[in-house]
């Protein structure tokens, strides 16, 4: 099976793969993506310039070596790890937070010496006010690139299924610019996800909640 990693740049996609034909056959939307070959600094630079263009929704970089693709990406950005949760309550409702004009899932950075699963639980508790959380299986990892203090950051977020209780009082963490935390029924998710990030929609898809 071919190696593939999707990195979100805002809501655009940078696809790293060892087999672009296989990826395109599985993802028809990628037919319009520009393709570059070889995991070099110059190739990555050109790819990111393409992603800055209006109407360019994605770029593919293909190389025979997965290690070369990952190493070149890590060489260009400061990598950090984070954890987050897709929390479901006893009424089969899902917990989302409203931050910076978007509906999001609770998540945050890994502390030194901390286990990633423990980080995920801690961040969900801190950002939403939930007290008791039961950790479930890991859903997926998502990757996205953003700028912070004029530094380009590559964040890998590990996402877990979690169970929580609607009896816990939701207290959005204002210090993290979270204005609201809300339980949402599955049938009501669509308008919230339309005002969310592609990476968040990916978590719901990987969890089998939406298509």
pLDDT at 10: 86
pLDDT at 159: 98
pLDDT at 148: 84
pLDDT of 15 higher than 90: yes
Mean pLDDT taken over the chain:
96
Q: Are 62 and 36 in contact (CB under 8 A)?
A: yes
pLDDT of 90 higher than 90: yes
β-partners of residue 80 are 155
Which pTM value belongs to this model?
0.93
* Per-residue tokens: 79: 């990598």
pLDDT at 104: 98
How confident is the model over 156-180, as pLDDT tens digits?
999 999 999 999 999 999 999 999 9
Distance in angstroms (rounded) separating the CA atoms of residues 115 and 8: 24
How confident is the model over 114-160, as pLDDT tens digits?
999 999 999 999 999 999 999 999 999 999 998 888 888 999 999 99
pLDDT of 18 higher than 90: yes
Q: Are 100 and 127 in contact (CB under 8 A)?
A: no
- Confidence label for 1 from pLDDT (cuts 50, 70 and 90): confident
Distance in angstroms (rounded) separating the CA atoms of residues 16 and 163: 33
Domains assigned to the chain: 4-76 (no CATH), 79-206 (3.90.79.10)
Contacts of 74 (CB under 8 A, 6+ apart): 154
């Amino acid at each position: 099976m071919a190696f593939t990693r999707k990195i979100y740049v805002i809501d655009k996609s940078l696809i790293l793969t060892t087999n672009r034909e296989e990826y395109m056959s599985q993802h028809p939307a990628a037919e319009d993506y520009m393709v570059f070959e070889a995991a070099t600094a110059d190739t990555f630079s050109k790819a990111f310039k393409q992603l800055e263009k209006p109407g360019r929704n994605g770029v593919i970089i293909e190389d025979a070596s997965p290690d070369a693709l990952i190493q070149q990406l890590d060489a260009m950005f400061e990598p950090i790890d984070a954890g987050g949760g897709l929390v479901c309550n006893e009424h089969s409702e899902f917990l989302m937070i409203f931050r910076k004009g978007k509906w999001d899932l609770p998540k945050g950075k890994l502390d030194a010496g901390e286990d990633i699963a423990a980080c995920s639980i801690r961040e969900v508790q801190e950002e939403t006010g939930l007290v008791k959380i039961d950790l479930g299986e890991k859903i997926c990892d998502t990757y996205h690139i953003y700028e912070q203090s004029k530094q380009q950051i590559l964040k890998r977020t590990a996402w877990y299924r979690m169970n929580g209780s609607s009896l816990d009082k939701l207290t959005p963490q204002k210090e993290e610019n979270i204005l609201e935390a809300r339980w949402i029924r599955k049938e009501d998710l669509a308008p919230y996800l339309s005002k969310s990030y592609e990476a968040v929609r990916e978590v719901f898809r990987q969890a089998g909640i939406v298509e």
